[in-house]
Amino acid sequence: MSWNIGNLTGRISVVTGANGGLGLETAKALAGAKSHVVMAVRDLDKAETARREILRTHPEASLELVATDLGSQESTKAAASSIAHRHPKIDVLINNAGVMALPEGRTVDGFETQLGINHLGHWTFTATLMPSLVAADRARVVTVTSTARHQGRAVDPNDVNLEQGYSAWPAYGRSKLANFHFGMGLDAEFGRRGFSAQSLVAHPGLSNTDLQRHTVSQGGGGPAGPFFVWLAAKIGMSAARGALPQLRAATDPAARGGELYGPRFGLHGRPVKLAVIRTEFDRDIAILWRVSEEMTGVRMFGDDDVT
């Protein structure tokens, strides 16, 4: 590794999608550093298997499983509320869970599936945990994006659910660009409000996880789906290596809010700080903020719902 995670004794970490792939490796590393890790997961059976795997490596790990369906605003709010109730201070939140290039669909709340899970679910999850995050000493929120964000367009407030035309990969790129804009916008808000919390963004490069296989099994990805399964298996980094950028963003003492971490060579390499291009940054973030509040009815700061 390019840095030392250090000893996280007494720290509370929350990881979404911690039952497999990057999320599991992230939870394993944080638990190994002695953080108490809240594993926010959709599939509790799979999560129990993941918990046992972590305990085989780190028998003294402190772990907690919380059922969280990011495709349901009700489930997301309930899960985050229960976590916040048990943990008045949260030091690390890693918004890791996501879906990729699925066929057109809607969440239970009627949102386009990929934006609804990858961004809007994490929007509400983060907002509900906000009191615990700002109560901690210099908490970090890390949101996981993708190089696919370069193929996505910023959210159009006039067509949030892509009713004027849907294509799986551009929709995925749009959701990951939303993750990027969310992470950067959140850090700006922390600074504006005088909070010590920081928000960073990370991407895993090309990693061989279940994400590609899940996409194909769900009928997504089109002709490119099987190709990416093959490519990730052939040349992709392991999930443990792919998790390093988000781990570095979460734990490196030298990291700062508003930074982006990813593999040195784009798809591969050690985790490093990457350049952030801010073209039309503020406008896109402002639009995303407004759309997210309107769609979910949840403000990022404050307990009152949007009216």
Handedness of CA 188, 190, 196, 197 (dihedral sign): negative
Each residue of 16-49: pLDDT tens digit?
999 999 999 999 999 999 999 999 999 999 999 9
Determine the Cα angle at 246 with ends 240 and 251, to 5°: 105
Please report the pLDDT score of residue 293 as a whole number.
97
Give the containing element (helix H, strand E) for 130.
helix 122-135
Q: Spell out a b/e string for 254-273, using b for 16 or more CB atoms within 10 Å of the CB, else e.
A: ebebbbbbbbeeebebebeb
pLDDT at 197 over 60: yes
Helices and strands: H and E segment counts in the chain:
11, 8
Is-contact 113 220, C-beta < 8 A?
A: no
Residue 218 pLDDT level (bands cut at 50, 70, 90): low
Residue 210 pLDDT level (bands cut at 50, 70, 90): low
What is the maximum span of the chain, computed from C-alpha positions, in angstroms? 52
Please report the pLDDT score of residue 152 as a whole number.
86
pLDDT at 220 over 60: no
Residue 228 pLDDT level (bands cut at 50, 70, 90): low
User: What is the arithmetic mean of pLDDT over 270-289?
Assistant: 88
CATH code matching the domain that covers 12-296, chosen among 2.60.260.20, 3.60.150.10, 3.40.50.1100, 3.40.50.720: 3.40.50.720
Q: Where are the domains of the chain?
A: 12-296
166 is catalytic: no
Please report the pLDDT score of residue 238 as a whole number.
85
Q: Which residues fall within 8 angstroms of residue 169, CB to CB, at 6 or more apart?
A: 101, 148, 151, 221, 222, 224
Residue 307 pLDDT level (bands cut at 50, 70, 90): very low
Strand partners, 140: 92, 198
Each residue of 71-120: pLDDT tens digit?
999 999 999 999 999 999 999 999 999 998 899 999 999 999 999 999 99
Please report the pLDDT score of residue 298 as a whole number.
98
Please report the pLDDT score of residue 56 as a whole number.
96
Catalytic residue among 111, 172, 195, 289: 172
pLDDT at 231 over 80: no
